[in-house]
Amino acid sequence: FSSGVARDAGQVTIQGIGVTELVEQFGSPLWVIDENDFRARARAYVDAFNEAFEPLCGGVDVFYASKALLTVQIAKWVKEEGLRMDTASGGEMALALRAGTDPSHIGLHGNNKSDEELHTAISHQIGRIVVDSLPELYRVEAMAAQLGQTANVMLRLTPGVDASTHQHIATAHEDQKFGLTMTPAPGAETSDAYQAVHFAANAAHINLVGLHSHIGSQIFDSAGFETAATRMLEFIAVLAAEDIVIAELDIGGGYGIAYTEADDPVEPAVIAQNLAAHMSTEIDRLGITCPRISIEPGRSIAGPAGLTIYTVGTTKTVWVEHDGEHYPRRYVAVDGGMSDNPRPVLYDADYTAVLANRVSDADAVFSRVVGKHCESGDIVVNTVYLPEDTDHGDLLVVPATGAYGHVMSSNYNMLLRPAIVAIKDGQAREIIRRETYDDLFAREVDL
Ligand code: LLP
């Protein structure tokens, strides 16, 4: 739960505002984001990484990975807390620009950027285009030449790390679509990464800003980050010996958060200190100067600051068999589901839920919270113990839905997407309004 969540007179409250009041005012389901908590988490990265790395490599730039949760208001909070903006598409970049983000503080990622995206990035002179492949690098040089400009380029490399996370969100091993490989092909003398650095360092219309690696997402084990840092620094040492100075190293995002009590995330301060200590040893060993460090956390800023409120519609109990025993499972159906949170169905992601509008003395029973979509995989919380009397009209709260929920939501079954309410200093305000049926029909050409 975000820091502002408490129980008051039986009800779950966020900064003192009860869930019943929120649903009366803004409808259900509802995404709630604790703005103070979001801002504090954003600031914590800036403070922790600057403190840990300042003596070693100078200040750290923290780029908020806006794919986790992005609205104009959120872009403004990010800027006010002193973070920069990582975007991964023309749409995210356009929103960042619309929200008034300084273009020099914007980064653009993507394994397959369109000409239009590159054109916008170069002509706005954004801080860094994170180039993902050799062909893209050549396109950037050609386009910058054509526009008579210099493109700020970072190169994304795959340091060959198997991060311990779901395979769909692991990104640094070789056999996946992102990044320039650091391993030469059989019979080849140099890797794509090496060739890209040489091309970028000598290209007339490219300013090589630095190197980038991102090993994956929802990672708890710091070993992967350390291995990646070592590989990147070793490569930087090879380049330094050829008089190619790499001024900046981005070590990506991916820090895990707690979705249930089984998860035990590491605080930013601890991550920063461990990484700084590891890099300090490696830098001494390799005899190089430390590049400026940047990072790109998304989930760990937005995720814990958010929660979803659902209303219970109907329930049923079925008897299931496990290891020869039969036991009851209660299905509790709510008014949203895979359209507002596809993570359980996509990644088998675990969440939890609590009865939020009242306290119940009833026994807690083995339950599954499901949505209202027309498929059986539409699960909100796979396994949770809820009071046996949980029933129609009750409110459930699912914590930690701030990241990769709204941004991956859909209108499947023509469900209306919920509003997002931000709560700051005890005041609630809508930052994204609930959809209407007219929104659903807005793109019909002939209505
Ligand atoms: N930087 C790059 C280059 C990335 O690709 C990502 C996430 C991040 C930073 C931020 O990672 P974070 O700190 O948020 O873990 N939809 C999936 C997550 C996909 C992550 C994609 N890239 C999910 O719901 O788990």
DSSP annotation string for 335-381: S--TTT--HHHHH------EE-SS---SPEEEEEEE-SSSSTT-EEE
| Residue with CA closest to ligand 1 atom 6 | 253
ipTM: 0.99
DSSP letters along 219-246, please? Answer: B--THHHHHHHHHHHHHHHHHHHTT---
Provide CATH 2.40.37.10 ranges for the chain: 5-34+305-441
Q: Which three-class secondary structure state does DSSP give residue 11?
A: strand
Q: What are phi and psi of 177, to 5 degrees?
A: -80, -15
**Among 45, 49, 62, 67, which residue has the most ligand 1 atoms within 8 Å of its CB, making it the best to mutate?**
67
Q: Which CATH class is domain 5-34+305-441?
A: mainly beta
The verdict on whether residue 375 carries a ligand-binding annotation is yes
Whether the Cβ atoms of residue 416 and residue 442 lie closer than 8 Å to each other: no
- For residue 212, name the pLDDT band (cuts at 50, 70, 90): very high
Spacing, Cα 119 to ligand 1 middle (Å): 24
Q: Which residues are catalytic?
A: 374
**What is the DSSP track for 261-280?**
TT--PPPHHHHHHHHHHHHH
Mean per-residue pLDDT for 195-212? 98
Q: What are residue 32's phi and psi, to 5 degrees?
A: -120, 135
Segment 23-31 shows an average pLDDT of: 98
As a residue count, the chain comes to 447
**Ligand 1 centroid – CA 253 distance (Å):** 7
Average pLDDT of the chain, as a whole number? 96
- Rounded CA-CA distance 54/68 in Å is 27
Higher pLDDT, 168 or 124: 124
| Atom 22 of ligand 1: nearest residue by CA position | 217
Strands (E), 49-175: 60-65, 84-87, 106-108, 128-131, 151-158
| 173 has pLDDT over 80 | no
Q: How confident is the model at residue 41 (pLDDT cuts 50, 70, 90)?
A: very high
Whether 161 shows a pLDDT value over 90: the answer reads: no
CB 92 within 8 A of CB 74: no
How far apart are alpha carbons 416 and 258 in whole angstroms? 28
Predicted local distance difference test score (pLDDT) of residue 6: 95
Cα-Cα-Cα-Cα dihedral sign, residues 378, 380, 381, 386? negative
Lookup: tokens for 197: 């650095």
Read off the pLDDT of each residue in 227-245 and give the average, rounded to a whole number. Answer: 97
How much is the pTM?
0.97
Look at residue 81 in the predicted model and tell me its pLDDT.
Answer: 98
pLDDT for 158 equals: 94
54 is in an annotated binding site: no
* pLDDT level of residue 14 (50, 70, 90 thresholds): very high
Q: Are strands 379-387 and 419-424 parallel, antiparallel or unpaired?
A: unpaired
Q: Are 402 and 27 in contact (CB under 8 A)?
A: no
Average pLDDT over residues 58-74: 97
The pLDDT tens digits for 87-97 are 999 999 999 99
164 band by pLDDT with thresholds 50, 70 and 90: low
- Contacts for 110-115 with beta carbons within 8 Å, 24 or more apart? 111/177, 111/178, 111/179, 114/90, 115/139, 115/143
Question: What CATH architecture does domain 59-302 belong to?
Answer: Alpha-Beta Barrel (3.20)
Percent of the residues in the chain that have a pLDDT greater than 90, as a whole number:
94
How far apart (Å, rounded) are the C-alpha atoms in residues 103 and 5?
A: 35
Predicted local confidence at residue 169, as pLDDT: 67
> How big is the CA angle at 436 (ends 431 and 437), to the nearest 5 degrees?
160
Residue type, 311: T
